[in-house]
Amino acid sequence: MWTTFMSWVDRRFPATETFEYHMSKYYAPKNFNFWYYFGVIATVVLVLQLVTGIWLTMSYVPTGDGAFASVEYIMRDVEFGWLLRYLHTTGASAFFVVVYLHMFRGLMYGSYREPRELLWLIGMAIFIAMMAEGFFGYLLPWGNMSYWAAQVIVSLFGAIPVIGGDLMEWIRGDFLISEITLNRFFALHVIALPLVLVMLVFVHIVALHHVGSNNPDGVEIKKNKNADGIPLDGIPFHPYYTIGHDLPGIVLFLIVFCAIVFYLPEMGGYFIEKPNFDEANPLKTPDHIAPVWYYTPFYAMLRAATYPLLGLDAKFWGFVVMAGAIVVPAMLPWLDRSPVKSIRYKGTTSKVMLAIFIVSFFILGYLGTIPPSIVATAAAQVCTVLYFGYFVLMPWYTRVEKTKPAPDRVTMR
Amino acid sequence: MKRSTWLFCALLLVPAFAFASEASKWKMEPFHPNLQDKPSLQRGARLFVNYCMGCHSLKFQRYERTADDLEIPHDIFMANLVFTGQKIGALMNNALPVEKSKAWFGAAPPDLTMVAKLRGGEWVYNYLKAFYIDDARPFGVNNMVFENVAMPDPFLQLQGTPVLACHQVPKIAVNGGEMRDPLVQGRAITEEKCGFIDVVQGTGQLNAQEFDQAVYDIVNFLYYVAEPARIERERLGIYVLLFLVVLYVFTALLGREYNKEVH
């Protein structure tokens, strides 16, 4: 019965072929470790955001008068509205947590190296789209921090010489953040960027399954195949990774995720900031405006630029530094000159540089949450230099350092 | 976990998220909300409706939700806690005209639905206890927690007349202990400290303990109103987590069966 049905379908649509290509006959290296959970978890979170987002949209009112009240309506009057909203707000933070870990995995094991350059670039595009998605979504609750954070970020475009002022007005659609801005951010948040994200994620997976997954040893499993053309170190993605590896990992993630949703949804003001319990008010600036935690490393770098240069003011250079910091990882495939891919076989310098990079990223993340001071700005400047140092010096230190020989086959450690 | 994983976890701890507490003359008393204490919430609702709601609305909260969550029967609730002829399903608004109240007070009294989240329960609790008589202010009172606030003291009748006072307090040594007189055994060395609030004897309807309880009840109620779903959220969370833990055991065992085939 099933076979007859599937052969009917397969004559009209490549169902079995697609399933085999992407799942049951997609051979992934058998030595995946802890760090290989975060790709699939990111997909789970994306689906969660889409589903909870659809349900939130059913009760949300994108108007200046109605937005803030409609969020409280969702929290109080909609059946399980509070759960939908907390899943969505916690999901936004979780999305960035898992994507940062996913990217860190790529840095460690050289997942951006040939032949995965395009895969990495598509991933970078996803990251930038996510940042935009998060930014537009943050305005929608129409809380006072929503309002002023949007005000600060949009005003960054004002630092661009000549066209800055007009550009700012064009983005806002008004002379200040208003209902018009809210409406267009709503459209971008619920239609434009989700569409872009889903398409990019699809292309990301297509590219991945074309070149095959990297692994903690950074060796190409396609170099050693058996008589049937199956990689000796590969195992079918389904069921060995779907059920054998990912499913318990996803449940473990959900345990942590739900513990936060049910018991710490505001995360002490890091996931939902306190001033956002006050309605947006153009006349009342919060004492201290800080973006949500996932932007703070880049925000700290923005504020670290304090010198005017070449006749352009410091704010413009801050904007350049911030944009540069977001985009510079896209250059990695061409910056890394090491003969080996994985950190396991790279030299000490690479390991130290990666450690410094991660530590400075965390410190910048912290500095971005606190009000600026002389010490904090100086620390941010040092960390910004260290952050860029990891990338700028990479062609040099990956070439001169002594590496260990990478094995021909994957190791199971 | 691999060494790199441990290293990564250790790095997570690098930035110690420390917050400098605001230097204030007022020593903040702790506030511990208790949403299981239904009598406290009920008293808080009664006090709020009588002493606060004339000026402050709870415009995102409904009467019915409050009655149900606080386990107050609708008829008793309508008879005792709804004074404006509103329906039970209505939002807890008041009739204070915003524009006129701006003229009367200098600022419109804010809606208090989310005040316990915006400022924190502890802040509200201390703020309500920090009023004192100050003839320099338009309403004759000032506040230790929120200086020059444009709000009259709603509790003058209940609390009595609060006046600013200075007390002799034990001097604190560098090591954190109270300083003692080396000549007279056991006698503390004291110093004068100001910023205390004393209530003039016999001016209030409640004694100090009763007043503390009343303020606690109001803030406990406001804590509830800030997120009425909190009770349900924390109750439901246990079941969700238990389900996931059981699910994890089964998925991990299933996963192990598959992993046995990988060499």
Q: pLDDT tens digits, residue range A336-376?
A: 999 999 999 999 999 999 999 999 999 999 999 999 889 99
In which band, very low, low, confident or very high, does the pLDDT at A134 lie, cut at 50, 70 and 90? very high
The DSSP symbol for A242 reads I
Query: Which residues of chain A does B233 touch, with a Cβ-Cβ cutoff of 8 Å?
Result: 82-83, 86, 262, 265
Joined together, the tokens standing for residue B251 give 């998925």
Minimum mean pLDDT range among A208-212, A284-288, A380-384, B218-222 = A284-288
Q: Which sign, positive or negative, has the C-alpha torsion A47, A49, A52, A53?
A: negative
Maximum Cα–Cα distance across chain B: 84
Q: Which residues pair with A279 in a beta bridge?
A: A143
Element housing B67 (H / E): helix B63-69
Q: Would you state the pLDDT for residue B1?
A: 46
B240 and A258 Cβ atoms separated by less than 8 Å: yes
Query: Among A74-88, A212-226, B135-149, B187-201, which range has the highest average pLDDT?
Result: A74-88
Q: What count of other Cβ atoms lies within 10 Å of the Cβ of residue A15?
A: 11
Strands B131-133 and B91-92: unpaired
Exposed/middle/buried for A165, CB within 10 Å: 0-12, 13-18, 19+? exposed
Q: pLDDT tens digits, residue range A213-237?
A: 999 998 889 888 888 889 988 999 9
From the CA of B257, how many Å to the nearest CA of chain A? 8
Q: pLDDT tens digits, residue range B39-87?
A: 999 999 999 999 999 889 999 999 999 999 999 999 999 998 888 788 9
Q: Which of A79, A80, A233, A247 to mutate to test the interface with B (most CBs of B within 10 A)?
A: A247
Q: Would you state the pLDDT for residue A26?
A: 92
Percent of chain A with pLDDT over 90: 77
Q: Would you state the pLDDT for residue B13?
A: 46
Q: Would you state the pLDDT for residue A80?
A: 96
A392 and A331 Cβ atoms separated by less than 8 Å: no
Scanning the structure block, which residue is given the tokens 């004339």? B54
pTM: 0.90
The answer for residues whose C-beta is within 8 angstroms of residue A142's C-beta and 6 or more apart is A64, A67, A68, A71, A182, A279, A280
Q: What is the mean pLDDT of chain A?
A: 93
Minimum mean pLDDT range among B17-21, B90-94, B154-158 = B17-21
Q: What is the mean pLDDT of chain B?
A: 86
In which band, very low, low, confident or very high, does the pLDDT at A6 lie, cut at 50, 70 and 90? very high
What is the Cα–Cα distance from B193 to B173, expressed in whole angstroms? 15
Per-residue pLDDT, averaged over A172-181, amounts to: 92
The answer for residues whose C-beta is within 8 angstroms of residue B96's C-beta and 6 or more apart is B54, B55, B57, B108, B109
In this prediction the ipTM stands at: 0.89
Q: Is the pLDDT of residue B8 over 80?
A: no
Q: Would you state the pLDDT for residue B3?
A: 56
What is the Cα–Cα distance from B136 to B211, expressed in whole angstroms? 26
Percent of chain A with pLDDT over 70: 100
Query: Which residues of chain B does A248 touch, with a Cβ-Cβ cutoff of 8 Å?
Result: 248, 251-252, 254-255
Exposed/middle/buried for B238, CB within 10 Å: 0-12, 13-18, 19+? exposed
Q: What is the CA radius of gyration of chain B?
A: 26
Per-residue pLDDT, averaged over B160-165, amounts to: 86
- Quick check: A247 contacting B, CB < 8 Å? yes
- Side-chain half-sphere CA neighbours of A394 within 13 A: 22
Query: Which residues of chain B does A275 touch, with a Cβ-Cβ cutoff of 8 Å?
Result: 118
Per-residue pLDDT, averaged over A168-184, amounts to: 93
Joined together, the tokens standing for residue A154 give 């949009």
Q: pLDDT tens digits, residue range A55-78?
A: 999 999 999 999 999 999 999 999
Backbone conformation region of residue B222, classed left if phi is above 0, alpha if psi is from -120 to 50, else beta:
alpha
Q: In chain B, what is the straight-line distance between the N-terminal and C-terminal CA atoms, in Å?
A: 19
The answer for residues whose C-beta is within 8 angstroms of residue B69's C-beta and 6 or more apart is B41, B224, B228, B231
Q: pLDDT tens digits, residue range A21-30?
A: 999 999 999 9
Minimum mean pLDDT range among B14-28, B69-83, B240-254 = B14-28
A81 and A316 Cβ atoms separated by less than 8 Å: no
Per-residue pLDDT, averaged over A385-400, amounts to: 94
Residue closest to A81 by CA, chosen among B150, B14, B227: B227
What is the Cα–Cα distance from A106 to A211, expressed in whole angstroms? 15
From the CA of B104, how many Å to the nearest CA of chain A? 20
Of residues A359 and A311, the one with the higher pLDDT is A359
Of residues B241 and B208, the one with the higher pLDDT is B241
Geometric angle at alpha carbon A145, from A141 and A150, rounded to 5°? 85
Residue closest to B111 by CA, chosen among B175, B55, B31: B55
Residue closest to B225 by CA, chosen among B116, B125, B79, B81: B116
The DSSP symbol for B91 reads E
Residue closest to A390 by CA, chosen among A345, A364, A359: A359
Strands, DSSP E only, in A232-338?
234-236
Q: Tell if the CB–CB gap between B255 and A365 is shorter than 8 Å.
A: no
Q: Is the pLDDT of residue B23 over 80?
A: no
Q: Which sign, positive or negative, has the C-alpha torsion B99, B103, B106, B111?
A: negative
The answer to whether the peptide bond before residue A405 is cis (omega within 30 degrees of 0) is: no
Scanning the structure block, which residue is given the tokens 């009343």? B214
Per-residue pLDDT, averaged over A303-318, amounts to: 84
CA dist A338 → A344, A393, B232 (Å): 12, 12, 55
Scanning the structure block, which residue is given the tokens 């410190």? A363
Of residues B25 and A229, the one with the higher pLDDT is A229
Q: Which residues pair with B191 in a beta bridge?
A: B169
Q: Is the pLDDT of residue A92 over 70?
A: yes
Minimum mean pLDDT range among A238-247, A322-331, A383-392 = A238-247
In which band, very low, low, confident or very high, does the pLDDT at B14 lie, cut at 50, 70 and 90? very low
In which band, very low, low, confident or very high, does the pLDDT at B26 lie, cut at 50, 70 and 90? confident
Q: Is the pLDDT of residue B178 over 60?
A: yes
Per-residue pLDDT, averaged over B236-253, amounts to: 96
In which band, very low, low, confident or very high, does the pLDDT at B17 lie, cut at 50, 70 and 90? very low
Q: Tell if the CB–CB gap between B15 and A252 is shorter than 8 Å.
A: no
The DSSP symbol for A283 reads T
Q: Tell me, what amino acid is at A131? A: M
Query: Which residues of chain B does A30 touch, with a Cβ-Cβ cutoff of 8 Å?
Result: 262
Phi, psi of B190, deg, nearest 5: -115, 165
DSSP secondary structure, A270-297, as one string:
TSS-GGGGSB--TT---SS----GGGHH
Per-residue pLDDT, averaged over B244-252, amounts to: 96
Q: Would you state the pLDDT for residue B22?
A: 37
Q: Is the pLDDT of residue B7 over 60?
A: no
Q: In chain A, what is the straight-line distance between the N-terminal and C-terminal CA atoms, in Å?
A: 45
Query: Which residues of chain B does A75 touch, with a Cβ-Cβ cutoff of 8 Å?
Result: 227, 229
Q: Which of residues 277-336 of A touch B (CB under 8 A)?
A: 277-278
Q: Which of residues 362-401 of A touch B (CB under 8 A)?
A: 362-363, 365-366
Minimum mean pLDDT range among A46-50, A263-267, B186-190, B241-245 = B186-190
- Side-chain half-sphere CA neighbours of B186 within 13 A: 0
In which band, very low, low, confident or very high, does the pLDDT at B11 lie, cut at 50, 70 and 90? very low
